[in-house]
């Protein structure tokens, strides 16, 4: 069964009416269970489960400790180009955005990579806008060649490729792919992506499977929370990640629950996800899929990031600039979104240690 | 030279029958103290975590000096990857021991015996002292032994599960039939589980999560040291027969004796 068929088994209306029917009693039963079903996960995302956050936290903490121990893997994102042909209405890199466009040369990438690597980072996440002309596979192959000199693990967060594209990048040294569906609700997806290749919902949702067939060892998925009802979006993220783990058990699957951040002069129609909701989602997911990782970005505030560590986070970004060339240049440059945690890598490491967790800088050997 | 009751792996001898891991600790300092408290002489670590570029982060720099290193191939999904990781470990100065861990199932983290046998063959023939981690299966264990493994390491229950020796019957069969040492690896959640494995006749146990993820890893490491020693002593002392019930005072066949 393909992912689209699996998602179709859980139509919006069914999810909505299910969420309303969940009782406190059911939550208590679920919290005693060892293995959770998708329906159990959905129950933990319900408004009724809000009253059980502490119980859920205890459970999520224990399960995470068992699977990942007291460790947090650190990585740094590297923005290499903000050229984009898409028109995502919520994004600062939107084709119509009047921002200075920049694509890093290989020399500039070398410089940025060296600065990040000198701080001890071994896991890098390469990001770019979607522009097959400006950021072609050939260019990306060259970029990966440069990064290989500095990092043990190279992941990409770029536009969806065909299987062959992924295979070529894997051969150069890419081992992981992050790709957010942005929003699983098809109607809202079409509205928010009016034009450009990204309008193709199906091509995007199947991308991670093409990446797996192309040879990547890990995939990270998620929905941009705030674009649609967050409970449903978090549920579909769980459906998707369970499908990937069931279908491709040798691949390490992880998720992110990025919350929509405003960008300059940008999209206002955000359905806010409050801290309490955000925590509920993280806990529900961790109890449901304790063997998979959860990545937390610098979109979140330092204090919240620290408090979330024992609740099931396994991977965090640090030392982040979302501006292209932002690591080596002081020049004001337009960021894709505003980050909330501006601390240095050293500061993030310190705070993780203080919380009783070990920051891990390397968890991969390139083979 | 072998003396008293030592664990023998190839031509290496160890006084402690407890092997410990390095993962999941809250920091390197507690890890180091826990290793010391455990009385172990052999420490396993994932090569993928060995950060050769940053001495401050390199786990090797926090393992007490007199330890025998047992790098493991965690992260390998097939024999070929395990073989490559093993070679990187040797080139990085981790010695000749290698624990083969091939896992192609991220859900239950169960080892792939078939790929593990292939990797065992290849690495043993290149002079590695191979310790394969496996699902307790007699035929697979025999293949690994034949391929040159210096010990066979069946799991008690899935990694990190703390569920104890769920495969007791199968592990007992390996203990009876395999000539190289059986080391129970994975699933040991408390000292009593470790003692149980040793009483069963395992030659050693490997423990990580139960120590590292406990509230006080240093004290827990000490507790495991005692448990392994107690279990070993009990095994050597031979148990009395376990009886389902007391002896009947008037045996049903007593009349036969009277007739004699």
What ipTM goes with this model?
0.82
Q: What is the pLDDT of residue A264?
A: 47
Question: If residue B115 lies in a helix (H) or strand (E), which one and from where to where?
Answer: helix B113-124
Q: Which residues of B touch A361 (CB under 8 A)?
A: 51, 54, 57
Q: Which residues of B touch A71 (CB under 8 A)?
A: 23-25
Q: Which of A7-16, A320-329, B104-113, B189-198 has the lowest mean pLDDT?
A: A320-329
Rounded CA separation A150/A121 (Å): 9
| Least CB–CB distance from B85: residue in A249, A353, A365 | A365
B99 is catalytic: yes
B1 pLDDT tier (thresholds 50, 70, 90): very low
CB-CB under 8 Å, A251 with B48 = no
Rounded CA separation B112/B155 (Å): 12
CB-CB under 8 Å, B160 with A362 = no
Q: Are the beta carbons of A89 and A194 closer than 8 angstroms?
A: yes
CB-CB under 8 Å, B49 with A362 = yes
* Active-site residue, from B33, B56, B99, B172: B99
Using alpha carbons, list the distances in angstroms from residue A44 to A15, A58, A186, A233, A276. 13, 14, 24, 14, 13
**Could you count the other beta carbons within 10 Å of the beta carbon of residue A199?**
16
Average pLDDT over residues A231-257: 96
Question: If residue B86 lies in a helix (H) or strand (E), which one and from where to where?
Answer: helix B79-91
State the Cα torsion A172-A175-A180-A184 to the nearest 10°. 110
With CA atoms as reference, the chain A residue closest to B83 would be A367
Q: Which of A18-32, A239-253, B235-249 has the lowest mean pLDDT?
A: B235-249
The angle subtended at Cα A257 by Cα A76 and Cα A235, nearest 5°, is 150
Q: Quote the pTM value.
A: 0.89
Average pLDDT over residues A27-52: 96
The domains found in chain B, sorted by start residue, are 7-239 (3.20.20.70)
Residues paired with residue A76 on neighbouring β-strands, in sequence order: A124
CA proximity to A146, closest of A156, A136, A154, A157: A154
Examine the pLDDT at A263 and tell me if it is beyond 70: no
Residues paired with residue A253 on neighbouring β-strands, in sequence order: A219
Rounded CA separation A198/A158 (Å): 11
Rounded CA separation A118/B125 (Å): 39
Examine the pLDDT at A53 and tell me if it is beyond 90: yes
Q: How far is B244 from chain A (nearest CA, A)?
A: 33
Question: If residue B18 lies in a helix (H) or strand (E), which one and from where to where?
Answer: strand B18-21
**Residue A227 C-alpha from the chain's centroid:** 15
CB-CB under 8 Å, B54 with A120 = yes
CB-CB under 8 Å, B109 with A122 = no
What dotted CATH number matches A3-360? 3.20.20.70
pLDDT in tens, B23-78: 999 999 999 999 999 999 999 999 999 888 888 888 888 999 899 999 999 999 99
The overall average pLDDT reported for chain B is 91
Q: What is the pLDDT of residue B102?
A: 96
| CB-based contacts of B129-132 (< 8 A; 24+ apart in sequence) | B129/B9, B129/B10, B129/B12, B129/B96, B129/B97, B129/B98, B130/B98, B130/B100, B131/B9, B131/B70, B131/B97, B131/B98, B131/B99, B131/B100, B131/B183, B132/B99, B132/B100
B247 pLDDT tier (thresholds 50, 70, 90): low
Termini Cα distance of chain B: 56
* SS3 readout for A170-182: HHHCEEEEEEEEE
User: What angle, rounded to 10 degrees, do the helices at B191-200 and B217-236 form?
Assistant: 20
Q: What is the pLDDT of residue A37?
A: 96
Q: What is the pLDDT of residue A328?
A: 78
* Higher-confidence position of B251 and A35: A35
Average pLDDT over residues B15-24: 95
Tokens 């500095």 -> residue = A150
CB-CB under 8 Å, B88 with A249 = no
Q: What is chain A's length?
A: 367
Residue ranges per structural domain of chain A? 3-360
Q: What is the pLDDT of residue B248?
A: 63
Query: What is the C-alpha R_g of chain A?
Result: 20
Say what percent of chain A tops pLDDT 90: 75
CB-CB under 8 Å, A249 with B105 = yes
Q: Which residues of A touch B85 (CB under 8 A)?
A: 365, 367
Rounded CA separation A148/A156 (Å): 13
A65, A244, A249, A254: best to mutate for the B interface, most B CBs within 10 A: A249
pLDDT in tens, B3-15: 589 999 999 999 9
**Could you count the other beta carbons within 10 Å of the beta carbon of residue A343?**
16
pLDDT in tens, A80-121: 998 888 888 888 888 888 888 889 999 999 999 999 999 999
CA proximity to A21, closest of A43, A44, A45: A43
| Token pair recorded at residue A90 | 């919520």
Say what percent of chain B tops pLDDT 90: 75
Q: Which residues of A touch B106 (CB under 8 A)?
A: 245, 249-253, 291-292
Tokens 């449903």 -> residue = A232
φ, ψ (nearest 5 deg) of residue B252: -65, -30
Q: Which residues of A touch B162 (CB under 8 A)?
A: 66
User: What angle, rounded to 10 degrees, do the helices at B138-147 and B113-124 form?
Assistant: 10
In our burial notation (b when 16+ CB lie closer than 10 A, e otherwise), range A21-31 reads: ebeeebbeebb
> Residues of chain B whose C-beta is under 8 A from some C-beta in A?
23-28, 46-51, 53-54, 56-57, 75, 77, 81, 84-85, 88, 103-107, 109, 160-162, 209, 212-213
DSSP state at residue B59: G
Examine the pLDDT at B180 and tell me if it is beyond 90: yes
CA proximity to A180, closest of A257, A246, A121: A257
Average pLDDT over residues B94-101: 95
Q: Is the dihedral of CA A131, A133, A138, A144 positive or negative?
A: negative
């Amino acid at each position: 069964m393909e992912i689209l068929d699996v998602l179709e088994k859980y139509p919006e209306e069914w999810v909505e009416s299910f969420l309303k029917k969940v009782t406190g009693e059911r939550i208590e039963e679920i919290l005693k269970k060892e293995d959770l079903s998708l329906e159990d996960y959905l129950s933990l995302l319900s408004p009724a489960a809000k009253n059980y956050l502490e119980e859920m936290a205890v459970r999520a903490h224990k399960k995470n400790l068992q699977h990942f121990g007291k460790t947090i893997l650190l990585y740094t994102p590297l923005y290499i180009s903000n050229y984009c042909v898409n028109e995502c209405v919520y994004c600062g890199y939107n084709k119509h955005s009047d921002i200075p466009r920049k694509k890093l040369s290989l020399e500039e990438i070398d410089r940025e990579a060296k600065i990040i690597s000198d701080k001890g980072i071994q896991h890098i996440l390469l990001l770019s806008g979607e522009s097959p002309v400006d950021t072609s596979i050939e260019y990306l192959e060259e970029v990966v060649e440069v990064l290989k000199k500095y990092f043990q693990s190279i992941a990409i967060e770029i536009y969806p490729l065909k299987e062959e594209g992924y295979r070529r990048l894997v051969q150069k040294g890419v081992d992981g792919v992050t790709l957010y569906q942005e929003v699983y609700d098809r109607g809202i997806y079409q509205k928010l992506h009016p034009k450009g290749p990204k309008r193709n919902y199906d091509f995007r949702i199947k991308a991670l499977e093409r990446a797996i067939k192309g040879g990547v060892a890990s995939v990270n998925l998620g929905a941009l929370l705030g674009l649609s009802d967050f409970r449903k979006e978090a549920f579909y993220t769980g459906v998707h990640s369970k499908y990937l783990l069931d279908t491709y058990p040798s691949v390490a699957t992880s998720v992110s629950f990025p919350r929509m951040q405003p960008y300059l002069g940008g999209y206002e129609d955000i359905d806010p996800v409050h801290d309490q909701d955000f925590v509920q989602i993280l806990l529900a997911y961790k109890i449901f899929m304790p063997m998979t990782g959860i990545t937390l970005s610098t979109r979140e505030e330092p204090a919240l990031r620290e408090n979330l560590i024992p609740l099931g986070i396994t991977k965090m970004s640090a030392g982040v600039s979302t501006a292209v060339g932002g690591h080596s240049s002081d020049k004001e440059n337009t960021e894709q979104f505003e980050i909330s945690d501006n601390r240095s890598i050293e500061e993030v490491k310190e705070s993780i240690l203080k919380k009783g967790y070990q920051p891990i800088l390397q968890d991969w050997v390139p083979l | 030279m072998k003396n008293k009751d030592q664990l023998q792996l190839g031509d290496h001898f160890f006084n402690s029958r407890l092997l410990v891991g390095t993962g999941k600790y809250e920091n390197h300092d507690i890890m180091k103290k826990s290793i010391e408290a455990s009385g172990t002489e052999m420490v396993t670590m994932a090569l993928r975590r060995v950060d050769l570029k940053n001495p401050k982060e390199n786990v090797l720099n926090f393992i007490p000096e007199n330890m025998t290193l047992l790098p493991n191939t965690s992260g390998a999904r097939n024999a070929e990857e395990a073989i490559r990781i093993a070679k990187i470990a040797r080139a990085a100065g981790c010695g000749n021991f290698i624990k083969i861990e091939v896992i192609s199932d991220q859900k239950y983290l169960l080892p792939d015996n078939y790929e593990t046998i292939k990797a065992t063959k290849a690495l043993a023939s290149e002079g590695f002292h191979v310790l394969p981690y496996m699902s307790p299966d007699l035929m697979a264990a025999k293949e690994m032994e034949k391929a040159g493994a210096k010990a066979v390491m069946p799991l008690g229950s899935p990694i990190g599960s703390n569920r104890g020796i769920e495969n007791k019957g199968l592990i007992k069969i390996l203990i009876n039939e395999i000539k190289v040492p059986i080391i129970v690896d994975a699933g040991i959640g408390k000292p009593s589980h470790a003692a149980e494995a040793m009483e069963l006749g395992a030659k050693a146990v490997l423990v990580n999560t139960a120590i590292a993820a406990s509230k006080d890893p240093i004290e827990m490491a000490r507790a495991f040291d005692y448990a392994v020693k107690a279990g070993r002593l009990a095994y050597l002392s031979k148990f009395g027969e376990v009886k389902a019930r007391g002896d009947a005072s008037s045996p049903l066949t007593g009349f036969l004796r009277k007739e004699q």
